[in-house]
Structure 1
Amino acid sequence: MRTPPLQVRALRGLLSALIATLASFAAVAALVTAAPPARADTTICEPFGTTTIQGRYVVQNNRWGSSATQCVTATDSGFRVTQADGSVPTNGAPKSYPSVFNGCHYTTCSPGTSLPARLNTVSSAPSSISYGFVGDAVYNASYDIWLDPTPRTDGVNRTEIMIWFNRVGPIQPIGSPVGTATVGGRTWEVWSGGNGSNDVLSFVAPSAISSWSFDVMDFVRATVARGLAEDDWYLTSVQAGFEPWQNGAGLAVNSFSSTVQTGTDPGPDPDPDPDPGEPGGTACEVSYGTNVWQNGFTADVTVTNTGTAPVDGWRLAFTLPSGQRITNAWNASVTPSSGTVTATGVAHNARIAPGGSLSFGFQGAHGGTFAEPDGFRLNDAACTTA
């Protein structure tokens, strides 16, 4: 076979190189064309409008306390408040709670969430948050944790835990201060109360925290220890956002993450009230005496340890009948002021010796027909009544 001239061979080489280069450009162009476009930010101005970010969290405008316009813009990692007109009095409820959440809230559940989850099946719930603050508004930066005795996905839960990362202006949590606590390695001022629909336990930072990674279950366990939830209740949602009273444009959740790690559900406890001598067992008797007058009453409560072991760090839980509210107490701390309350010992009576007893009391207000509570539980074990 005859070999082509040198000039022809060179030309063929150049053509081959050109074809390869054009093919490369075509491949790159195909990749660029096939790549999905960047997600555009979504702005929500409807009072209860929502959108999904990262395919796993829900951003909600949640403007419920004002008719003034509020808009939030959801980003790939969080949201920012882009318009926050109007104001409400600082001695009342805020005008909204723009936030991002994992879980279920008023029938809206985030995609793929593992919530609601029973508390005694949750090993940890790691979360992280980064806030963007402004100085020309009255607001708090609040992380909300919702708990309920049932795995509900709608309506109001029984207990709300609020973590105040920052507060600006003359505002305060629901209820009254009940001391301090160390949770997650930080010291918090603790407030306890109720808003008429649910119990609220608030942990207030002494100074602003702009970002933090922590375990949600640290705050849940602290709440259970105070008698405002039980281990067989459910974690329904975790939320990060703001409660503005005045203005609020520019506030931002720069980033948010939430994971709930669960194990195997242990199922119903076949013996929820262990007998004396069993692990966790407590034997007790409660005497509840009252002095009642129109719209008011006092209660004298005596707790007797009928077991053979001392009871340290005692907590007596019971539910006040509807319409009753505690105004002050002595020889114990009793919180919240209504609904399911928990009395805890103070420094001089934190232990009940075997066969021993202690007394505490409180004054309260009531409306309608007066009734006495029942179902007393000492450190989570049922007591008999005298």
Structure 2
Amino acid sequence: MKARIALAAAAVAAAVVGGGIMLSGPASAVETTLCDQYASTKVQGGEYIVQNNRWGTGAAQCIDVSDDGFTITQQDGVNSGGAPTAYPSLVWGCHYNNCTNNFSPIKASSTEFIGLGSKASLKYVSGGVWNASYDIWFDPTARKDGQNTGAELMVWANHSGGASPVGSKVGTVTTAGGTWDVWYGNTGWNVISYVRTSAASSVDFKVTDFYNDAVQRGYAQSSWYLTSIQAGFEPWSGGKGLGISGFAVTKGTSGSTPVVTTAAPTVPAATPTATTTTPPTTTAPSTGTGTGSATCTATYKVSQSWGSGFIGEVTVKNTGATTSKNWKVSWTWPASQKVVSSWNATSAQSGTKATATSLNYNGAVASNGTTQFGMQVDGASTTPKLSCSAA
């Protein structure tokens, strides 16, 4: 969504993917050159849009378009810092009311969202400052025009010359066949960037591989709508020769379960000025008993912290012989910590005493099975002792 607006911070672009059934029909023969600032053309019968999207410079940029990709043939702009010069890219969905065939925004909690992904092959050049990235956009409403205000989920398959995402590094995850550094910032909306620690010349993964992680960290919500999947390059300089081919959005029948969030987390309004990643701290499992043979343990870790708060994640394990009906985790904060919001559990707090109880969709945990919930907390990062009971 970067066209037609100017951002003060470094811009971004996110990614997704998954194997499965192609959403596009037979490719049509398309060969054209786009040089106008916001020039675009539809390919594969309107299933995708290719856009020049030169939004951060007045210098010339041209791309040669094919059925399923493009190559940057001219890129004269040079930005020494801050935002990139452009985001030439392929689009599935809507970009400022320029929409692909029959597209409607997709709610992140819907079954249609499961397995939705994309794949592409990428061609790189030596030198220059650029990234190769997907940009996946989410809005609290089913928006087709204007700037999205929910989350910008970026996946960086490669980068060169010191290009870095918005905000600060907050963690590392292993997903979608690789290891990714996680960055978070806020430019009026949440920007969550997944930067591959080793370059990839192709991508093929599901949106939920990354979006589920963003929800668990408190940066996104399952009530939001996916409005577009975009893939391309952000050049600060030296982008001539970068290319993408084989782009396709895919839909599968298997994969991650839908993201389900209740009591959606409230994220800090701006990027913390001193964000640090707290090494995972885990409490010793504490066991409780309920009625019948249901028992459980709860283990805790801090996944992220900043000056005035932190994100806590809890894994509940059924250690009993039968499937549980529900569970409850209790603990006492050592000081003035306060649960601001939680997901995948109903939380309550009185003074320093806090509880989290299962919801109707995650109370039933099979013997030796696990489920997770998370919370955003105001106050100094800490590791409370947990007590778990199940029925």
Task: Specify the TM-score bucket, using the shorter chain as the normaliser.
Answer: 0.5 to 0.7
1:206 to 188, 197, 202: 197
2:232 counterpart residue number: 241
State the Cα distance separating 1:229 from its structure 2 match: 1.5
Does 2:208 correspond to 1:253? no
1:356 to 331, 353, 373: 331
Cα distance in 1, alignment partners of residues 96 and 346 from structure 2? 33
> Which ranges of structure 1 fall in alignment gaps of 5 or more residues?
1-37, 264-268, 274-315, 348-352, 363-372
Q: Distance in 2 between matches of 1:144 and 1:226?
A: 19
1:102 maps to what in 2?
92
Structure 2: gaps spanning 5 or more residues: 1-27, 255-259, 282-301, 316-327, 352-391
Name the Cα RMSD after superposition. 3.5
Q: Using a 3 Å threshold, how does the CA distance of structure 1 residues 337 and 250 change in structure 2: closer, same or farther?
A: farther
Q: Which residue of 2 aligns with 1:376?
A: 341
In the TM superposition, what is the alpha-carbon distance from 1:124 to its structure 2 partner? 1.0
Residue 73 of structure 2 is matched in structure 1 by 82
How much does 1:361 deviate?
Answer: 8.2
Kindly state the Cα deviation for residue 44 of structure 1 after the two structures are TM-superposed. Answer: 1.2
Q: How much identity, in percent, do the aligned residues show?
A: 39
1:327 corresponds to 2:274: yes
Distance 2:35 2:336 in 1: 50
Which residue of the partner structure matches residue 177 of structure 1?
169
In structure 1, distance between residues paired with 2:266 and 2:194: 23
Q: 1:337 to 1:76 in 2, by over 3 A?
A: farther
**Which residue, out of 115, 118, 132, partners 1:127?**
118
* Residue 343 in structure 1 maps to residue 311 in structure 2: yes
- Which stretches of structure 1, 4 residues or longer, exceed 6 Å deviation after superposition? 335-338
Other-structure match for 1:226: 217
Mapping of 1:276-295 within 5 angstroms?
A: none
Q: Which amino acid aligns with 2:331?
A: G
Residues 312-361 of structure 1 deviation map (CA, whole Å, 9 limit, x = unaligned): xxxx93354x68955357895557899xx9622599xxxxx944222588
Deviation at 1:234, TM superposition (A): 1.2
Distance verdict in 2 for CA 1:153–1:260, change over 3 Å: farther
Q: 1:52 aligns with which of 42, 45, 56?
A: 42
**Alpha-carbon shift at residue 188 of structure 1 (Å):** 1.0
Greater share of helix: 1
- Superposed, 1:59-78 pairs within 5 Å as 59-78=50-69
Equivalent residue pairs, number: 282
Query: Could you tell me the TM-score, scaled by structure 1's length?
Result: 0.64
Q: CA deviation at 1:95?
A: 0.8
Q: Does 1:42 align with 2:7?
A: no
Question: Does the aligned pair in 1 maintain the 2:72–2:240 contact within 8 Å?
Answer: yes
- Cα separation, partners in 2 of 1:359 and 1:164, compared to 1, 3 Å: farther
Q: Distance in 2 between matches of 1:346 and 1:217?
A: 20
Q: Deviations over 1:178-207 (max 9, x none)?
A: 12101113211111112x222111111122
Q: 1:192 aligns with which of 172, 176, 184?
A: 184
1:51-72 alpha-carbon deviations (Å, 9 max, x no partner):
1111200011111111101111
Give the match for residue 277 of structure 1: none
1:66 maps to a residue whose letter is: T
Q: In structure 1, what is the Cα distance between the partners aligned to 2:335 and 2:131?
A: 36
| CA distance in structure 2 between the aligned counterparts of 1:333 and 1:172, rounded to whole angstroms | 22
Task: Name the structure, 1 or 2, with higher relative contact order (CA <8 Å, separation 6+).
Answer: 2
CA contact (8 A) 1:99 1:242 kept: yes
Q: 1:154 aligns with which of 124, 136, 145?
A: 145
- Distance, in Å, in 2 between the alignment partners of 1:225 and 1:377 is 9
- How far did 1:75 drift? 0.6
Report SS of the residue matched to 1:135.
coil
Aligned-partner Cα distance in 1 for 2:162–2:272: 26
1:162 Cα deviation after fit: 0.9
Rg larger in structure? 1
Task: Look up the SS of the partner of 2:110 in the other structure.
Answer: helix
1:164 aligns with 2:156: yes
**SS at the partner of 2:122?**
strand
Q: Distance in 1 between matches of 2:73 and 2:99?
A: 24
